[in-house]
Amino acid sequence: MPWPGAAGTLFLMTDERTPVERTLAELGATSPEAIAARFAEVRARFDAETARLAPCDLAAWTAVRNAWLGRASGVITAIGDNWLKPATPEQKRVVGKSLNGLKAHVERTLEELRARAEAAGDAGPAAAGGSDLSLPGVRRALGTRHPIRQTREELERIFRSIGFSVVEGPEIETPYYNFEALNIPEHHPARDTMDTFYLSLPKGSPELLLRTHTSPMQIHTMERQQPPVRIVVPGRVYRRDNPDSTHSFAFHQIEGLAVDTDITFCEFKGTVEYFVREFLGPKTRTRLRPSYFPFTEPSAEVDASCFACDGRGCRICKHAGWIELFGAGMVDPAVYGFVNYDAKRLSGFAFGIGVERMAMMRYGISDIQLFYQNDVRFLRQFE
């Protein structure tokens, strides 16, 4: 029978048979002292073999366990067959007691080694700074588009579907493009509602500011392009507003412009109605209220029937049945003079939509500041 060797390997003694394959009589161990010496030799061999096991080598531990405790050919089984069964009645008392002690020692030692190997296997990769493949997987949260971005893309999609192009421009503008070219002279009262942030520049440099609306890109586009023009201009704009539930010093707009021959107020109204129904639902009604904007004439405020009460009146619409959406109107002929368009031949309309306002209406949000706080609990609602 092979004799267990280091780390579960097996080697052969110089004799054809190992000690545990011989009887005690063949080994000359007939006295209690000689029998105890033989058991001590076997125990010492087991202790030496287990001492050489790697701390976390479960495969080697399994090989040693099978070699010593295997039912068919283990060392403990061989001792029972070759030492205990052929022994005389006087020897059996000594052999049986010694065999039980050896078996208990082997089982206890192997159990301790197993627990140590499993503990070392669990802590090993983490202690070494590596990856522990036995740990459960970590679910990585996927991001999503910000609700402002989602709303902006939806607005762009609606206007693209009826022939508008999307144009973007710089957030830093000159007073000319931000005000004068839009029929807002330097001392016009309308500038009071569009007070903005001016850049601190070296003396003698041209005056620059953060745009108060995206309308300057309408002027840039008309300077570069002859009619027909149909564009929407999305982007971030700035005004010196005190932050509250409905105002912010930075927000987003989409402003539109359509210029061509023979564009009438009816086409303007049809475009507005199409947009509102696409965005808020086919049952939404619209109305136009007279208003004033320096760059449109006539001007109108576009209202929609309340999405919460369907126009019957509620807390959201302040019991009016209508909610204000955005300002719009026919382009003032004076604006055409700044871009060398023929005001007698051309006509058009323009509008300016607040992206945050549209998002607040669609999702029932009451505080505009929630968009800018980056609270994950809020943003996860729009996944």
* Three-state SS sequence of the chain: CCEECHHHCEECCCCCCCHHHCCHHHHCCCCHHHHHHHHHHHHHHHHHHHHCCCCCCHHHHHHHHHHHHCCCCCHHHHHHHHHHCCCCHHHHHHHHHHHHHHHHHHHHHHHHHHHHHHHHHHHHHHHCCCCCCCCCCCCCCCCCCCHHHHHHHHHHHHHHCCCCEECCCCCEECHHHHCHHHCCCCCCHHHHHHCCCECCCCCCCCCCEECCCCCHHHHHHHHHCCCCEEEEEEEEEECCCCCCCCCCCEEEEEEEEEEEECCCHHHHHHHHHHHHHHHHCCCCCEEEEEEEECCEEEEEEEEEECCCCCCCCCCCCCCCCEEEEEEEEEECHHHHCCCCCCCCCEEEEEEEEEHHHHHHHHHCCCCHHHHHCCCHHHHHHHC
pLDDT at 272: 93
Least confident of 5-9, 179-183, 189-193, 202-206: 5-9
Strand duo 286-293 + 296-305: pairing: antiparallel
Domain boundaries along the sequence of the chain: 3-127, 148-382
Instruction: Provide the pLDDT confidence category of residue 121 given band limits of 50, 70 and 90.
Output: low
Residue percentage of the chain with pLDDT more than 90: 38
Domain 148-382: top CATH class: alpha beta
Query: What's the whole-number mean pLDDT along residues 242-263?
Result: 91
Residue 150 has pLDDT above 90, yes or no: yes
* Dihedral (Cα; 356, 362, 367, 369), 10-degree rounding: -40
Instruction: Provide the pLDDT confidence category of residue 11 given band limits of 50, 70 and 90.
Output: very low
Least confident of 23-32, 212-221, 339-348: 23-32
What's the mean per-residue pLDDT of the chain? 85
In single-letter form, the type of residue at position 208 comes to L
d(CA 26, CA 24): 5
Residue 14 has pLDDT above 60, yes or no: no
pLDDT at 3: 54
d(CA 28, CA 89): 17
Pair 172, 210: CB distance under 8 Å: yes
Q: How far, in Å, are 3, 18, 77, 301 from residue 82 at the CA level? A: 14, 11, 9, 107
Question: φ and ψ at 201, to 5 degrees?
Answer: -125, 160
Count Cβ atoms below 10 Å from residue 318 Cβ, excluding itself. Answer: 11
253-309 per-position pLDDT tens digit: 999 999 999 899 999 999 999 999 999 888 889 999 999 888 899 999 999 988 778
Better-predicted residue by pLDDT, 310 or 107: 107
Least confident of 15-19, 112-116, 227-231, 267-271: 15-19
Instruction: Provide the pLDDT confidence category of residue 327 given band limits of 50, 70 and 90.
Output: very high
User: Could you tell me which residues come within 8 angstroms of residue 323 by beta carbon, excluding any fewer than 6 positions away?
Assistant: 303, 304, 305, 306, 307, 316, 317, 361
Facing residues of 347 across strands?
260
Query: What's the whole-number mean pLDDT along residues 317-338?
Result: 90
43-100 per-position pLDDT tens digit: 888 888 888 887 777 788 888 888 888 887 888 888 888 888 888 888 888 888 888 8
pLDDT at 265: 93
Least confident of 34-48, 151-165, 168-182: 34-48
Query: What's the whole-number mean pLDDT along residues 367-379?
Result: 89
Instruction: Provide the pLDDT confidence category of residue 172 given band limits of 50, 70 and 90.
Output: very high
User: Could you tell me which residues come within 8 angstroms of residue 124 by beta carbon, excluding any fewer than 6 positions away?
Assistant: 56
Pair 178, 211: CB distance under 8 Å: yes
Pair 224, 269: CB distance under 8 Å: no
